[in-house]
């Protein structure tokens, strides 16, 4: 049997078997059922990202508005997704920006005329192509912001552990702490650090 | 602003989230593709299914490799979404209904996107094409077939002996011998002077002479070479008010008119050639 015949006999892929690239191509190409398949796969993640950043009473409205805008703009946001990178991470960033825009537009309606808000439309809102490095850079910025609000000793502990790779003995001698005290101090410092990270990037936490 | 609780506040630190700490400490030193085993290791780590030594291996990989950190971050995001509440059913139904409604018109959107002005242009183009087919088709066919050119030359014949025909002899008291037209090597016709003048003025535009020519037929695709006797031309010019004039026409391609080819000069081999002269 020839290869072409084998291909013809192969049953069509189920939506659950499609990769994100195939799924997005289907949505952009107007393939029947592709939008529904995209919704089934990613709606929960989108809902979670909105829920983690918006007030509870706004979540449903933002969720619906997000999909309405996607449809209205012919899924342009999916055209901008760089193939090969993580679609869930990309969507999380898109949703985050959408929620921020939602809050800004609400504030704009409530603010009097004037102010720097009027300059924002001129600033250009073209999303830049996102890669794995971009995601990590952003998370790194989040980490720096979270680290910057810690107490000096916590900052030092977190820095020694995460970026200097110092072992416990070295850290204990530098801080003049016993091994047990260091473990407790380190555990608390990391917890406080993660609490700050969580407040800045809540979508990555359950 | 600090996040440090006061001493003795009784705050219990959360369980340290090693996965997020590893991602936050990624140094972006490597972007090597992950093997299936590495992917499995990372997925198991995020799902908290690893023993401590394997967890340390996974943490080291995430700290060094960008793609490992990205994968872990993605799994982490999905895990958080799965643990959160699902989309309310009524909301999901609204969004899916809106998407199916927006899908159907998008396929016919290509037609709608043509717009009113483009539709007008298309209808106009179709109408023009129909008019062209109805009216212009015969013209086009004629143009495609092509009319062969008519070449006209005026020749001064110094020795007119060859043009003498026995049938021109008239004897007193007897009627002139009338041979059958098929027996004669020429054709005597009366031609409107307007046709001859048009032929001499603009030969390419005038094919009105063609019906008078012997053996010319209606084949317009064949080139015609017409040699007009200078004497005939002088007669036309001398009597401008005359409507018709007797003309003798010789078919120069005929074998029995071969003697005439010498007196009119070079005759083209292709097409048909005629000599138009005065009828004595």
- Provide the residue ranges of all domains of chain B, joining segments of one domain with +: 18-83, 150-166+182-278
B182 falls in which pLDDT band (50, 70, 90)? low
What pLDDT sits at residue B205?
A: 60
Strand order from edge to edge, sheet including B272-278: B150-155, B224-229, B272-278, B244-251, B186-192
The DSSP line for A109-125 is HHSPS-SGGGGGGGG--
**Which residue is listed with tokens 């003995």?**
A169
Q: Is the pLDDT of residue B8 over 50?
A: no
What pLDDT sits at residue B7?
A: 41
Question: Taking CB atoms and an 8 Å cutoff, what residues of chain A touch B11?
Answer: 188
pTM of the full predicted structure? 0.56
Q: Is the pLDDT of residue A125 over 50?
A: no
**Fold observed for domain A133-204:** Arc Repressor Mutant, subunit A (1.10.10)
What pLDDT sits at residue B178?
A: 54
Beta-ladder partners of B187 = B249
Report the range out of A31-45, B11-25, B100-114, B213-227 with the highest average pLDDT: A31-45
pLDDT average, residue stretch B161-183: 66
Smallest CA–CA distance, residue B83 to chain A, in Å, is: 6
Using only C-alpha atoms, chain A has a radius of gyration, in whole angstroms, of 23
pLDDT tens by residue, B61-90: 999 999 999 999 999 999 999 998 989 988
Question: Taking CB atoms and an 8 Å cutoff, what residues of chain B touch A161?
Answer: 21
For residue B228, give both structure tokens: 């007009």
Q: Is the pLDDT of residue B53 over 60?
A: yes
- Provide the residue ranges of all domains of chain A, joining segments of one domain with +: 11-112, 133-204
Of B114-118, B128-132, B159-163, the poorest mean pLDDT is in B114-118
Question: Taking CB atoms and an 8 Å cutoff, what residues of chain B touch A86?
Answer: 70-71, 73-74
Query: Cα separation of A21 and A2, whole Å?
Result: 28
Beta-ladder partners of B248 = B188, B277
Query: Least CA distance to B6: which residue of chain A?
Result: A151
pLDDT average, residue stretch A181-206: 91
**Cβ pair A191, B22 in contact under 8 A:** no
3-state secondary structure of B197: helix
CA dist A159 → A74, A139, B24, B131, B186 (Å): 45, 16, 11, 84, 121
For residue B40, give both structure tokens: 């499995």
B137 falls in which pLDDT band (50, 70, 90)? low
Q: Is the pLDDT of residue A83 over 70?
A: yes
What pLDDT sits at residue B40?
A: 93
Comparing B202 with A193, the larger pLDDT belongs to: A193
Smallest CA–CA distance, residue B16 to chain A, in Å, is: 6
Q: Do A63 and B23 touch (CB under 8 A)?
A: no
For residue B103, give both structure tokens: 């899908």
Report the range out of A103-117, A154-168, B124-138 with the highest average pLDDT: A154-168
**Which residue is listed with tokens 């080139």?**
B223
Query: Cα separation of A153 and A188, whole Å?
Result: 11
Query: Cα separation of A182 and A165, whole Å?
Result: 15
B207 falls in which pLDDT band (50, 70, 90)? confident
Q: Is the pLDDT of residue B120 over 90?
A: no
In CATH, the number for domain A11-112 is 1.10.1740.10
Q: Which residues contact A74 (CB under 8 A, 6 or more apart)?
A: B106
């Amino acid at each position: 049997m020839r290869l072409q015949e084998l291909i013809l006999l192969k049953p069509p892929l189920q939506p659950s078997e499609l990769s994100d690239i195939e799924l997005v191509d289907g949505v952009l190409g107007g393939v029947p059922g592709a939008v529904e398949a995209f919704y089934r796969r990613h709606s929960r993640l989108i809902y979670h990202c909105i829920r983690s950043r918006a007030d509870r009473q706004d979540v449903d409205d933002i969720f619906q508005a997000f999909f309405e805008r996607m449809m209205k703009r012919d899924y342009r946001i999916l055209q901008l997704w760089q193939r090969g990178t993580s679609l869930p991470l990309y969507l999380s960033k898109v949703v985050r920006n959408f929620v921020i825009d939602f809050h800004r537009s609400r504030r704009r309606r409530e603010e009097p005329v004037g102010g720097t808000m009027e300059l924002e439309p001129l600033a250009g809102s073209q999303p830049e192509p996102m890669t794995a490095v971009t995601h990590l850079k952003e998370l790194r910025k989040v980490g720096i912001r979270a680290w910057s609000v810690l107490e000096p000793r916590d900052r030092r502990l977190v820095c020694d552990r995460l970026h200097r790779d110092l072992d416990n003995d070295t850290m204990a001698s530098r801080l003049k702490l016993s091994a047990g005290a260091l473990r407790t101090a380190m555990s608390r410092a990391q917890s406080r650090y993660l609490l700050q990270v969580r407040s800045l990037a809540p979508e990555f936490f359950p | 602003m600090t996040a440090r609780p006061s001493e003795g506040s009784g705050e219990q630190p959360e369980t340290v989230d090693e996965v997020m700490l590893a991602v936050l400490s990624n140094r972006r030193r490597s972007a090597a593709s992950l093997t299936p085993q590495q992917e499995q290791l990372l997925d198991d780590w995020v799902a908290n299914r690893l023993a401590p030594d394997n967890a340390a291996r996974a943490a080291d990989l995430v700290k060094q490799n960008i793609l490992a950190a990205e994968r872990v971050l993605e799994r982490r995001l999905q895990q958080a979404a799965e643990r959160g509440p699902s989309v309310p059913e009524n909301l999901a139904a609204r969004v899916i209904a809106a998407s199916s409604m927006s899908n159907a018109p998008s396929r016919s959107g290509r037609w709608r996107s043509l717009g009113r002005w483009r539709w007008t242009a298309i209808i106009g183009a179709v109408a023009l094409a129909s008019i062209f087919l109805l009216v212009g088709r015969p013209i086009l066919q004629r143009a495609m077939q092509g009319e062969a050119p008519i070449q006209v030359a005026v020749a001064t014949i110094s020795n007119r002996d060859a043009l003498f025909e026995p049938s021109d002899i008239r004897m007193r008291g007897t009627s002139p011998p009338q041979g059958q037209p098929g027996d004669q090597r020429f054709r005597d016709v009366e031609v409107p002077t307007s046709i001859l003048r048009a032929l001499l003025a603009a030969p390419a535009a005038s094919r009105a002479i063609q019906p008078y020519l012997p053996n010319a037929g209606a084949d317009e695709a064949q080139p015609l070479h017409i040699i007009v006797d200078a004497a005939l031309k002088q007669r036309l010019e001398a009597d401008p008010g005359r409507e018709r004039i007797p003309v003798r026409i010789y078919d120069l391609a005929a074998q029995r008119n071969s003697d005439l080819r010498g007196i009119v000069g070079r005759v083209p081999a292709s097409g048909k050639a005629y000599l138009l002269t005065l009828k004595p």
